[in-house]
Amino acid sequence: MRRALWLGAAVLASLGAAKAQLPAGTHEADDTSRQDAVNARIADAEKALEQQDYKGATVKLKSLAVERPKDARVLYDLGFAEERTGDEDGAAQAYAGAIAADATMGEPRVALGLLDARAQRMEKAHDELRSAAQLTTAAPELRGRALRAMAAMDEAGQPDAAREELLAAVRLTGETPADVLIGADLAAKAGDDADAEAAYRRALDADVGNVDAIAGLAHSLVRQKKYADAETLLADALKTHADDPRLVSQLASVYVAEDKAAQAIPLIEALRTAQPQMVSDASMTRLLAHLYAINGQNLEAEKLYKTLVARDPKDPTLLDDLGGVLLKEAHYAEAEALLTKAVAMRDGFATNEDWGYAAEHLAFAASKNNDPRGSLQALTARATVLPNSPGSLFLEAIGHDALHETKEAAKAYHAFLAVANGKFPDEEFEARHRLVALDHMK
């Protein structure tokens, strides 16, 4: 028994000795072969990515990731593939793994930041993109991409920060045509209309047909009341972009500012004919209704506003607009009912002033509907947010007059006459006549 054990040990020893005596470099050759095989598999997966076979690439990369859980390249490629197959959670996990595996690799930081931004995880996105932008080992182009992504995120809410981020990107990589356009947008948001105009013109010099630049330039011109320039710009652009809803609505708005509503109406009607989906577009329908109203086409305006109200009965601004049209048509009872609903929805107005004007419309409708008490109540509401005007004072006077509140009526008539200054001859004549009558009633 002992001899058998000894023989076994001797055999094992001889095997060990034989292994120890293999030619030098054999281990290295085996390791190199294994690494070559892995590299070939990675290259094969990346070829699938290039061919947009993201599902196939995901399968190959998942297998590699199991074997190489700290390989940043494999994990980044896996995240890229999973993101494009819709597995955003898996992609985020893979990107995070790549960052943990190699803190100097910028690509997964940018990819994860953009993914979080699309998912509205803005704070996380900012942190990830900022860390990528500050990564001095990363290529300037990658850092510039991170900065530009941050600028796009900050454009609406933090335009000053966005400007600094854009400038930092430009210092890294030089200015691109897209940078010029973003800079113009930022200037416009900051209210720097002259700077915005200059930047939009530079963007158009680089790309003559850029619709975003055209629309931005038109907006900055309108804000500066350069209506003729805006009209020329938009009319020329519509020769090649005839069915662009944004340009059409902008030119229509310019025509409104120039008191040319009649010229704006055919633009919107033609667009709705060319693009039937525009018939159900609320903003375009509302613009056309507004144009009809100011052009005196009240029946057409009423029809469109009623369609809009039916779709969104809790929008008080729509009720206010429809009420205004009904007033023009002398449908006073219907107008008063609608405007009463509108004024009751105060939170639905963009500003207190807008709500105050709706209350003024209600006061007029109630007065015309022989409801002086309702008119005075609406005027009281209006007075909490708007100063007196000749119109509101006259309505107040005739309201008190109708209720035989002589003292209050006379006071309001006098206040009206003090500010009218001959601009309202009919109402001024009536006020003087009523003051004489009220004086005789004392």
- Listing DSSP states for 274-339 in one string gives H-GGGGG-HHHHHHHHHHHHHTT-HHHHHHHHHHHHHH-TT-HHHHHHHHHHHHHTT-HHHHHHHH
Does the structure show a pLDDT above 50 at 315? yes
Contact predicate 294/321, CB 8 Å: no
pLDDT at 37: 81
Residue 23 is classified by DSSP as P
pLDDT above 90 covers a percentage of the chain that reads 80
CA 205/CA 216 separation, integer angstroms = 14
pLDDT band at 442 (very low <50, low <70, confident <90, very high): low
CA 432/CA 119 separation, integer angstroms = 67
CA 258/CA 268 separation, integer angstroms = 17
Backbone dihedral region of 65: left (phi > 0), alpha (psi from -120 to 50 degrees) or beta? Answer: alpha
CATH number listed for the domain at residues 312-382: 1.25.40.10
Q: Give me 437's structure tokens.
A: 């009558």
Does the structure show a pLDDT above 50 at 12? no
Does the structure show a pLDDT above 70 at 21? no
Q: Assign 52 to helix, strand or coil.
A: coil
Q: In CATH terms, are 225-297 and 312-382 the same topology?
A: yes
pLDDT at 310: 97
Contact predicate 256/291, CB 8 Å: yes
- Helix runs in 134-176, H state only: 140-154, 159-173
Residue among 158, 168, 170, 204 at smallest CA distance from 184: 204
pLDDT band at 98 (very low <50, low <70, confident <90, very high): very high
User: Which residue type sits at 209?
Assistant: G
Q: Assign 142 to helix, strand or coil.
A: helix
pLDDT at 3: 31
Does the structure show a pLDDT above 80 at 14? no
Contact predicate 408/383, CB 8 Å: no
pLDDT at 28: 55
Vertex 105 angle, CA 103 and 109, to 5°? 85
pLDDT at 440: 82
Domain ranges in the chain? Answer: 175-224, 225-297, 312-382, 387-442
Vertex 411 angle, CA 409 and 413, to 5°? 70
Residue among 351, 431, 439 at smallest CA distance from 394: 431
Encode burial over 220-255: b for 16+ CB neighbours within 10 A, e otherwise: bbbeeebbebbbebbeebbeebeebbebbbbbbbbb
How many C-beta atoms surround the C-beta of residue 294 within 10 A? 14
Q: Give me 77's structure tokens.
A: 């490629």
253 compared with 27, residue with greater pLDDT? 253
Pick 225-297's CATH classification: 2.60.40, 1.10.10, 1.10.101, 1.25.40: 1.25.40
pLDDT at 5: 29
Q: How many helices, marked H, and strands, marked E, lie in the chain?
A: 24, 0
pLDDT band at 8 (very low <50, low <70, confident <90, very high): very low
Does the structure show a pLDDT above 50 at 219? yes
pLDDT at 171: 93
Where in 329-371 does DSSP place strands (E)? none
Tell me the average pLDDT of the chain. 90
Phi/psi at 424 (5° precision): -130, 70
pLDDT band at 177 (very low <50, low <70, confident <90, very high): confident
pLDDT at 156: 83
Per residue in 187-196, pLDDT (tens digit) is 998 889 999 9
Does the structure show a pLDDT above 70 at 270? yes
CA 382/CA 436 separation, integer angstroms = 29
CA dihedral 377, 379, 385, 387 (to 10 degrees): -150
Per residue in 358-408, pLDDT (tens digit) is 999 999 999 999 999 999 999 999 999 999 999 999 999 999 999 999 999
Does the structure show a pLDDT above 80 at 25? no
Least confident of 185-194, 196-205, 290-299, 412-421: 185-194
Backbone dihedral region of 208: left (phi > 0), alpha (psi from -120 to 50 degrees) or beta? Answer: alpha
Residue among 141, 112, 143, 115 at smallest CA distance from 128: 112
pLDDT band at 39 (very low <50, low <70, confident <90, very high): confident
Does the structure show a pLDDT above 60 at 228? yes
pLDDT at 15: 30
135 compared with 37, residue with greater pLDDT? 135
